[in-house]
Amino acid sequence: EVQLVESGGGLVQPGGSLRLSCAASGFTFNSYWMTWVRQAPGKGLEWVANINQDGSEKYYVDSVKGRFTISRDNAKNSLYLQMNSLRAEDTAVYYCARRNLEGGDYFDYWGQGTRVTVSS
């Protein structure tokens, strides 16, 4: 069974940093792109970043470029999101998801999410 479990969320002051983790199991982690998607309170879904299988390709939404870094450790079946210079508008539930390219391009499995609150 595919499982994605996020951790690392919490309350942080503006300008602070946080590192999110996503532990993957039930599939061959190093065969898939992975992604982070966030959802601000009461709002819709926003794609944040993608990373390819070996970590050599990374893409970000403009609003986090230069502040967030996506990475992975295939030996630990883990995905990460390092978030620096956090702003109030980064407050959201952050989901990790598996990107599947078989027959299309879609996010077929999602974690339960971890909540990040940026506030003084």
Distance of CA 103 to the CA centre of its chain: 23
CB of 23 to another protein, least distance (A): 15
User: Smaller CB distance to another protein: residue 27 or 107?
Assistant: 107
- In whole angstroms, how close is the CB of 105 to another protein at the nearest point? 4
- Residue 45 binds another protein (CB under 8 A): yes
Q: Is 56 exposed, middle or buried (0-12, 13-18, 19+ CB in 10 A)?
A: exposed
Q: For the chain, how many residues are written?
A: 120
Among 83, 95, 114, 118, binds another protein (CB under 8 A): 95
Q: Look at the alpha carbons of 64, 68, 73, 78 in this order and tell me if their dihedral is positive or negative.
A: negative
Residues that bind another protein (CB under 8 A): 35, 37, 44-47, 50, 59, 61-62, 95, 100, 103-108, 110-113
